[in-house]
C-alpha cells in the first residue's frame, strides 16, 4: 500500500494497519456528522488509521483520499503565511487537512484518519446556489429573455474594467526591486484618501511600534510591499464603482455599499483568526462581487433587461462569479483572490482545516445580510462550514452579534476614507 505521507529526512512513516477507525470517530468530522450509523460503518470499513511520530513531515498529495487529524497537535504552514497550529480538539480539526503546498510539523505524536475522498460527496453539497436561477423565473417569456441575455453575455460581450491608473503605477513600482520606498511614498501621496488610510493602518495597534510613524516613506518601510499593495488596491478600487449612467447609478452605489460592509466585517473576522491579514481580508471583501460591474455595464446594451430588474438580478447572480474571476485575472491578482471571486457564494464549500479568505468573505456576507432585506434562500450563519473554522471556532450566534457591532465602527471608517 502506498504511504500517505513521507518524512523529510531519511526515516519513513509506517501506516497503522491494525484496525479501521471507530465509526463514532467519523461522526465528529464535519462531512459525516449527519450520516446514519450504517453509512458510517461502511465509510469506516474503507478508511484507515495513520500514526505519526512527533517531528517535521511533508504530505504527499493523494487525490483519492483525504486526511483528518483525530488526535494530537499539528503545525501547518503555507507559503507566505504564518504557521497555523491545529489541535485535534479544535473545531477546525473536523475538516480535511491541506495536502498541497503545506509544510507539516507534528508537535506531538498524532493519529490521522485516512478516508476515501469519494465519501465527501455524501456531505452537505457543494453549493446552495442554483446553476442558472432558471427555476426562479415565472413564465416562458422571461425564460427566453433570460437565456438569450445569458448567451449574449457568455459570448464575452462585455468589457472587463480597467484597473485604476494610479493603482497600476504603484503596483509597477512595488514590483520593481530598484524602486525605493521614497518613490512609492510619492505615488501614494497623489491620492489623499489613500495616504490617510496608509497612515492610519501603520499607526494602528497591530503595526505601531514604540514610536509613532510620521511619514509615508516610514510607513512603506514598516508595512512592507505586500501590505502596501493590499492597501492601495482596497482604497483605489472605489473608482470602479462610479458611473454616469442614471440607469446604473443606484445599483452600482448599492453594490459599493454592500462591498464596503462585507469588507469591514471581513477585516474584523480576520483580526479574530490567527494567520489571516485583516487588510487582505478587507481587499477580498471589496472585490468579492467585482464581476457584477462589467455585467451591469453590459446590460445597457440589452434594453429588454432594463425593464426586468428581477431578471437582471438573477442573471448577475448566475454570471458574476465567472466574470469576477476573469476580471481579477485580467488585473493580475493572485489566484487565491481570483478564485475567491469565483466561489464567493459557494456557501457549503468544505475547505480545509486551515481557515482562509474565502471562509472570511462567505461568513462576512451572511453577517452583512443580518437585518437586511435579502433573499430568504441564504443559509443561517452557523450552517456553513466556514463558521466552524474562523476565530478558532469560538463563534456563536451571540458572539456574531458582537462582531457586527464592532464592524459598524470599521464600516464608518471605510466609508469615510473610501466612499467619499
- Give CATH for domain 134-157+242-419: 1.10.3210.10
Q: CA-to-CA distance for 391 and 269, rounded, in angstroms? A: 7
Beta sheet of 73-77, edge-to-edge order? 5-7, 55-59, 103-106, 73-77, 84-87
Tally Cβ neighbours within 10 Å of residue 211: 8
The predicted model scores a pTM of 0.82
* Alpha helices by DSSP H, 192-245: 192-202, 216-223, 225-236
pLDDT tens digits for range 186-222? 999 998 888 988 898 888 766 656 678 889 999 999 8
Q: CA-to-CA distance for 176 and 198, rounded, in angstroms? A: 20
- Residue segments in the chain with a per-residue pLDDT below the cut of 50: 1-17, 124-136
Cα 207 to its chain centre, rounded Å, is 23
pLDDT, the chain, mean: 82
Q: CA-to-CA distance for 245 and 160, rounded, in angstroms? A: 17
What are the residue boundaries of the structural domains of the chain, listed by start?
A: 5-122, 134-157+242-419, 159-239
3-state secondary structure of 68: strand
Residue 350 confidence (pLDDT): 93
Q: Would you state the CATH architecture of domain 5-122?
A: Sandwich (2.60)
Please report how many Cα atoms fall inside a 13 Å half-sphere around the Cα of residue 390, on the Cβ side.
Answer: 32
Residue 236 confidence (pLDDT): 84
Q: CA-to-CA distance for 184 and 220, rounded, in angstroms? A: 8
Residue 129 confidence (pLDDT): 36
Per-residue cell: 230: 493590499
Q: Evaluate whether 152 touches 312 at the Cβ level (below 8 Å).
A: no
Residue 122 confidence (pLDDT): 56
Q: Evaluate whether 324 touches 287 at the Cβ level (below 8 Å).
A: yes
Residue 47 confidence (pLDDT): 93
Q: Evaluate whether 263 touches 286 at the Cβ level (below 8 Å).
A: yes
Residue 100 confidence (pLDDT): 80
pLDDT tens digits for range 69-101? 999 999 999 887 888 999 999 999 999 999 888
How do beta strands 48-52 and 65-71 pair?
unpaired
Amino acid at each position: 500500500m502506498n504511504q500517505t505521507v513521507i518524512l523529510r529526512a531519511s526515516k519513513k512513516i509506517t501506516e497503522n494497519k491494525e484496525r479501521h477507525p471507530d465509526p463514532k470517530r467519523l461522526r465528529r468530522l464535519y462531512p459525516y456528522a449527519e450520516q446514519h450509523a450504517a453509512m458510517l460503518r461502511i465509510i469506516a470499513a474503507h478508511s484507515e488509521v495513520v500514526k505519526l511520530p512527533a517531528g517535521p513531515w511533508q504530505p504527499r498529495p493523494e487525490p483519492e483520499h483525504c486526511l483528518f487529524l483525530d488526535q494530537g497537535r499539528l503545525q501547518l504552514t503555507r507559503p507566505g503565511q504564518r504557521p497555523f497550529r491545529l489541535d485535534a480538539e479544535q473545531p477546525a480539526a473536523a475538516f480535511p487537512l491541506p495536502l498541497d503546498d503545506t509544510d507539516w510539523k507534528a508537535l506531538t505524536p498524532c493519529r490521522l484518519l485516512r478516508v476515501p475522498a469519494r465519501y465527501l460527496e455524501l456531505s452537505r453539497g457543494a453549493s446552495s446556489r442554483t446553476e442558472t436561477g432558471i427555476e426562479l423565473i415565472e413564465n416562458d417569456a422571461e425564460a427566453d429573455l433570460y437565456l438569450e441575455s445569458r448567451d449574449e453575455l457568455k459570448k464575452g460581450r462585455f468589457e472587463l474594467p480597467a484597473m485604476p491608473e494610479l493603482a497600476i503605477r504603484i503596483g509597477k513600482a512595488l514590483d520593481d526591486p530598484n524602486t525605493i520606498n521614497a518613490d512609492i511614498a510619492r505615488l501614494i501621496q497623489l491620492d489623499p484618501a489613500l495616504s490617510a488610510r496608509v497612515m492610519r493602518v501603520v499607526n494602528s495597534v497591530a503595526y505601531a511600534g514604540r514610536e509613532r510613524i510620521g511619514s509615508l516613506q516610514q510607513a512603506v518601510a514598516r508595512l512592507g510591499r505586500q501590505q502596501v499593495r493590499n492597501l492601495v488596491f482596497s482604497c483605489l478600487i472605489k473608482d470602479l464603482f462610479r458611473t454616469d449612467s442614471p440607469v446604473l447609478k443606484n445599483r452600482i452605489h448599492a453594490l459599493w455599499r454592500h462591498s464596503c460592509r462585507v469588507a469591514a466585517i471581513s477585516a474584523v473576522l480576520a483580526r479574530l483568526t490567527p494567520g489571516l491579514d485583516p487588510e487582505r481580508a478587507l481587499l477580498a471583501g471589496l472585490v468579492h462581487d467585482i464581476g457584477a460591474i462589467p455585467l451591469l455595464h453590459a446590460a445597457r446594451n440589452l434594453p429588454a433587461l432594463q425593464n426586468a430588474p428581477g431578471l437582471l438580478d438573477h442573471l448577475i447572480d448566475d454570471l458574476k462569479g465567472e466574470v469576477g474571476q476573469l476580471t481579477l485575472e485580467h488585473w493580475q491578482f493572485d489566484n487565491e483572490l481570483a478564485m475567491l471571486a469565483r466561489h464567493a457564494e459557494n456557501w457549503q464549500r468544505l475547505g480545509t482545516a486551515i481557515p482562509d479568505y474565502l471562509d472570511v468573505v462567505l461568513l462576512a456576507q451572511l453577517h452583512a445580510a443580518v437585518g437586511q432585506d435579502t433573499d430568504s434562500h441564504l443559509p443561517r450563519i452557523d450552517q456553513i462550514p466556514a463558521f466552524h473554522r474562523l476565530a478558532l471556532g469560538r463563534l456563536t450566534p451571540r458572539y456574531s452579534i458582537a462582531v457586527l457591532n464592532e464592524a459598524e465602527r470599521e464600516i464608518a471608517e471605510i466609508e469615510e476614507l473610501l466612499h467619499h
